[in-house]
């Protein structure tokens, strides 16, 4: 995984720059299972086998959300925003020396991804995925190290809308 980490570090761009194309992922997702959640129907994604559905009750927020976590402190949350919801802006990442802001295609959708280090052993991913018809998903994920960060970035790219 040393090569993948080096590729990630080389791909870092100044956070002040407009979102550029995301660097190609080097993570092999071929054996990751496809997961879905009844809380966010109509969407699938691939996650590493170490992830399991997080059944902790979600606060009374009315936004349909699904969460997964792994033993290495990784968390992945996907929220389906209504067409009338005004999404919060994606966080700025310029305060971190290991930050990235980019855009990529995710199936038929476009994703804006922000990733950054938030302390010595916390890495954060925020993504907004928008389909041409305006449907919107928000993703928030965090990892304890760069290797797991790269896995979460790869997982974001696997999100698909059923029938899109």
Please give the chain's pLDDT, 164 residues, in tens.
333 443 443 344 333 444 688 888 899 999 999 999 988 999 999 999 999 998 887 665 678 899 999 988 889 999 998 655 555 565 555 555 568 889 999 999 999 999 988 777 889 999 999 999 989 999 999 999 989 999 999 999 999 998 65
Q: How far apart are CA 113 and CA 137, in angstroms?
A: 12
The Cβ of residue 52 has, within 10 Å, a number of other Cβ atoms equal to: 12
- Tell me the domains of the chain and their CATH numbers: 2-161 (3.40.1000)
Question: CA–CA distance from 21 to each of 24, 83, 92, 114, 122 (Å)?
Answer: 9, 26, 17, 12, 24
Summary count for the chain: helices (H), strands (E):
2, 11
- Whole-prediction pTM value? 0.79
Strands (E) in 10-51, as ranges, are: 20-21, 34-37, 40-46
């Amino acid at each position: 995984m040393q090569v993948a980490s080096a590729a990630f570090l080389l791909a870092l761009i100044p956070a002040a720059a407009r979102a550029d194309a995301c660097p190609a992922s080097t993570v092999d997702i071929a054996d990751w299972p496809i997961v879905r959640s009844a809380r966010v129907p109509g969407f699938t994604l691939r996650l590493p086998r170490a992830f399991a559905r997080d059944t902790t009750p979600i606060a009374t927020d009315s936004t349909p959300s699904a969460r997964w976590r792994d033993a290495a402190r990784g968390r992945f949350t996907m929220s389906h925003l209504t067409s009338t919801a005004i999404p919060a802006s994606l966080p700025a990442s310029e305060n971190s020396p290991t930050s990235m802001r980019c855009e990529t295609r995710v199936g038929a959708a476009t994703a804006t991804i922000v990733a950054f280090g938030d302390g010595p052993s916390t890495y954060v991913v925020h993504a907004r995925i928008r389909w041409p018809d305006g449907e919107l998903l928000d993703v928030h994920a965090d990892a304890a190290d760069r290797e797991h960060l790269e896995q979460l970035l790869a997982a974001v790219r696997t999100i698909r809308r059923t029938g899109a």
